[in-house]
């Protein structure tokens, strides 16, 4: 039996080496047919160990295992052992990836990664079941229904979370500073609207990018044009919200950065092969014509979001406000194996225009905000007395002019603006801070 195992092992090594040599070089493929020539780059010792393990599983494992399953698991192991972002995409995984970049798929609506054997939430996607259930960036998912996550691959965990629409899943969530808790989420068809916009006040726009997809750059240009038309052609300032944006396509991040920077480098990538090293430069167009910008980021801002924030920060085109970003500074390339399967491999690191690598560091905001929660204060029954309320107060000049009384419409507008500001302070304090900063910049401008 031992001789047969050894023999089987060497046959398998011969097949593997033959495949490696045939794929490794076009020159080798032109050699006459025959036994493959030994190469110093072929790890024979390790391949022999692989074939031994393969043979032992085939002959001794408690249940029969198909060769296809064993080899696919070997491929998965090679990739997941590299870093958290390299993976094998089987039929389901490849389909899910294409659906995610197109903007519609089924599931919970969270971007996740693996850390210490558990699923970590990078960020929930806006207006999805996960976001509505209150999941936050940094949460760890410990159980999926009654199944422990420990021991699963990221792909296996994602497959369980996706499921059919209108079905429930129970997540056991661990959050820093809190006791683990269970949340029930109903799966749905996730339709991601990449770009949203609205006016905060007269002349001040708000642009939210939730993920970077194929049409994100185009959607940003349309949104800015729409807000400019509402502001007589020009914006006084813009808040770009990249909080909880898990990233997406590199090209989309370049297009968004290019919309606000007129010249110079936006981002560059470096890898081991020529195809993975690129430099992306700006075209001489700034859609805002120099109007000030504030970019909101947090721990859920990752990858493509960090490219945009880093480019605008290095070019001093925007003030970055919020919290330290996630720190994913690597580029993944999708390499199809068949029409239905592929491998996703980390092929490069990306760097900001000044040469900073964001990998495992993130973007440090120019203005850091502490996580606080505001509540509405009780209004006093009595207003403070001012000088003008005192009996017999003098005027403010030799010829005091009587000020026109405000109309009821003006009073209503004033009250509406105050209510909006108070509401923003309670619902989204960082956004209020960003708006106030834009106003301050314009005062001194």
Spatial contact of 234 and 286, defined as CB atoms under 8 Å apart: no
Query: Which one from 120, 328, 330, 344 is the annotated catalytic residue?
Result: 328
Tokens of 57: 């599983």
Pairing of strands 278-281, 265-271: antiparallel
Residue 328 among the catalytic residues: yes
> In angstroms, rounded to a whole number, what is the distance separating the alpha carbons of residues 119 and 157?
8
Residue 314 among the catalytic residues: yes
Spatial contact of 372 and 425, defined as CB atoms under 8 Å apart: no
Spell out the residues 6+ positions from residue 114 whose beta carbon is closer than 8 angstroms to its own.
Answer: 84, 120, 153, 154, 157
DSSP, res 259: T
> In angstroms, rounded to a whole number, what is the distance separating the alpha carbons of residues 145 and 317?
46
Query: Which one from 194, 303, 305, 330 is the annotated catalytic residue?
Result: 303
Spatial contact of 287 and 234, defined as CB atoms under 8 Å apart: no
Q: Looking at the chain, how many residues does it have?
A: 445
403 CA to centre of own chain: 53
Query: Which one from 257, 314, 330, 344 is the annotated catalytic residue?
Result: 314
The stretches of 153-249 forming alpha helices (DSSP H) are 154-162, 216-229
Tokens of 99: 């659906």
Instruction: Quickly tell me which residue has 């085109």 as its tokens.
Output: 317
Residue 303 among the catalytic residues: yes
Catalytic positions, written as ranges = 303, 314, 328
């Amino acid at each position: 039996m031992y001789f047969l195992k050894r023999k089987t092992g060497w046959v398998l090594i011969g097949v593997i080496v033959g495949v490696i040599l045939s794929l490794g070089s076009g020159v080798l493929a032109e050699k006459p047919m025959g036994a493959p020539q030994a190469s110093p780059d072929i790890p024979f010792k390790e391949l022999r160990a692989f074939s031994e393990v393969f043979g032992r599983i085939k002959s001794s494992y408690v249940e029969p295992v198909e060769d296809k399953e064993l080899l696919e698991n070997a491929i998965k192991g090679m990739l997941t052992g590299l870093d958290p972002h390299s993976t094998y995409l089987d039929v389901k995984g490849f389909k899910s990836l294409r659906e995610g970049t197109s903007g519609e798929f089924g599931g919970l609506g969270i971007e996740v990664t693996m850390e210490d054997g558990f699923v970590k939430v990078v960020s929930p996607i806006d207006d999805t079941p996960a976001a509505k259930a209150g999941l936050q960036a940094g949460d760890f998912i410990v159980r999926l229904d009654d199944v422990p996550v420990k021991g699963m691959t990221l792909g296996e965990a994602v497959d369980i979370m996706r499921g059919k629409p209108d079905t429930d899943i129970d997540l056991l969530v661990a959050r820093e500073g809190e006791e683990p808790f269970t949340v029930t989420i109903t799966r749905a068809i996730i339709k991601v609207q990449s770009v949203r916009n609205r006016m905060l006040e007269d002349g001040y726009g708000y642009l939210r990018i939730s993920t970077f997809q194929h049409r994100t750059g185009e959607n940003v240009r349309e949104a800015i044009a729409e807000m400019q038309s509402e502001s007589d052609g020009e914006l006084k300032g813009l808040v770009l919200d990249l909080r909880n944006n898990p990233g997406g396509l590199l090209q989309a991040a370049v297009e968004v950065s290019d919309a606000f920077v007129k010249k110079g480098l936006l981002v560059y990538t470096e890898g081991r092969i020529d195809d993975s090293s690129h430099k992306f430069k700006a075209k001489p167009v700034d859609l805002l014509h120099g109007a000030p910008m504030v970019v909101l980021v947090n721990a859920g801002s990752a990858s493509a979001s960090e490219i945009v924030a880093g480019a605008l920060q290095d070019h001093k085109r925007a003030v970055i406000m919020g919290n330290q970003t996630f720190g994913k500074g690597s580029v993944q390339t999708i390499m199809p194996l068949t029409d239905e399967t592929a491998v996703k491999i980390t092929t490069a690191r990306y760097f900001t225009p000044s040469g900073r690598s964001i990998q495992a560091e993130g973007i440090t905001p120019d203005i850091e905000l502490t996580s606080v929660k505001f509540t509405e204060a009780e209004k006093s029954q009595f207003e403070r007395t001012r000088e003008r309320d005192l009996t017999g107060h003098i005027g403010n000049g030799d010829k005091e002019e009587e000020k026109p009384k405000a109309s009821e419409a003006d009073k209503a507008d004033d009250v509406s603006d105050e209510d909006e500001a108070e509401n923003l302070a309670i619902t989204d304090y960082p956004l209020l801070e960003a708006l106030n900063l834009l106003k301050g910049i314009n005062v001194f401008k």
